[in-house]
Amino acid sequence: MENKDLKESYIDERSGIEYRLVGDYYLPNIVLPKPKRTGTIGKYGRLRLKYLEEYHKLEVMIMRVNNELISHLLDIEDEGKVRVERLVEQMVKKENVTEELKANNQLEWVQKMNSIKSRAEEIILNEVIYQ
End-to-end Cα separation, the chain, in angstroms: 56
Residue ranges covered by each domain of the chain: 1-31, 32-129
Tens digits of per-residue pLDDT, 75-122?
999 999 999 999 999 999 999 999 999 999 999 999 999 999 999 999
Tens digits of per-residue pLDDT, 39-88?
899 999 999 999 999 999 999 999 998 889 999 999 999 999 999 999 99
The helix-helix angle for 57-65 and 43-55 (nearest 10°) equals 120
Global pTM? 0.74
